[in-house]
Amino acid sequence: MSTAEETTAGDPQAWAEVTPDAARRLLIAAVEAFAERGYHATTTRDIAGRAGMSPAALYIHYKTKEELLHRISRIGHEKALEILRTAAGREGTAAERLADAVSSFVRWHAGGRTTARVVQYELDSLGPDARAEILALRRQVDAEVRGIVEDGVADGSFDVPDVKGTTLAILSLCIDVARWFSLDGPRTPDEVGALYADLVLRMVGSK
């Protein structure tokens, strides 16, 4: 599977909101280039070339390289937040909701790992205003998971002395999947999601 296929295979609708088609092609090309070479080592010429377009064509849709990264980061974080909000808002026990949140979050990082690597690990490449916007989304992501853990502590189903630290550990565990997951590995995204859900429930002392 090519990087381009992988970028969209994890979530076929991941970039559906990006229009017109040329802007979408450039954004996907930027994801590939940033994941492969890093943001700072990637040029606008690299991105345009991957999209089969001229460098001048890129500026019709994006004023700067940073604007591309900002849009990738914003869409990715909004998708991550949507995944966790859905899990947190479902009916069920705290353990069921936490397992759903973790397995879904892990599947997203595994199935779309090229995108996830850029979304999660290029934050410091953004300028102050864009970075502040993404950090606000990250705080909302943290709040969704923390809320589930707090519910479990409140009803006695979780044994968690440090909710804030445990939330950070859970999110770090899930996010790191984007670093190492491979489609050629022994587990599918679904299998890794199920494994991590079980590990996290053990972490919180689920009863």
Place of tokens 């009863």: 207
- What angle in degrees, to the nearest 10, is found between the helix axes of 113-121 and 94-111? 100
Least confidently predicted of 2-16, 68-82, 140-154: 2-16
Instruction: Tell me what percent of the residues of the chain surpass a pLDDT of 90.
Output: 89
Mean pLDDT of 13-37: 90
Q: For residue 207, what pLDDT is reported?
A: 82
Contacts of 108 (CB under 8 A, 6+ apart): 10, 11, 79, 80, 83, 116
The per-residue pLDDT of the chain, averaged, comes to 92
**DSSP at 188:** -
Q: Which two tokens stand for residue 88?
A: 């947190």
Q: pLDDT-derived band of residue 145, with 50, 70 and 90 as boundaries?
A: very high
Instruction: Tell me what percent of the residues of the chain surpass a pLDDT of 70.
Output: 93
Mean pLDDT of 111-129: 94
Q: What is the largest CA-CA distance in the chain?
A: 60
Mean pLDDT of 91-110: 97
Which phi and psi (to 5°) does residue 56 adopt? Answer: -65, -35
Q: Is 180 helix (H, G, I), strand (E, B) or coil?
A: helix
Please tell me the distance from the alpha carbon of residue 92 to that of residue 170, in angstroms, as a whole number: 20
pTM, two decimal places: 0.88
Q: pLDDT-derived band of residue 84, with 50, 70 and 90 as boundaries?
A: very high
Place of tokens 């984007």: 178
User: In whole angstroms, what separates CA 202 from the centre of its chain?
Assistant: 23
Q: Is 82 helix (H, G, I), strand (E, B) or coil?
A: helix
Which among 4, 63, 54 is positioned nearest to 33, based on CA atoms?
A: 4
Please tell me the distance from the alpha carbon of residue 176 to that of residue 201, in angstroms, as a whole number: 18
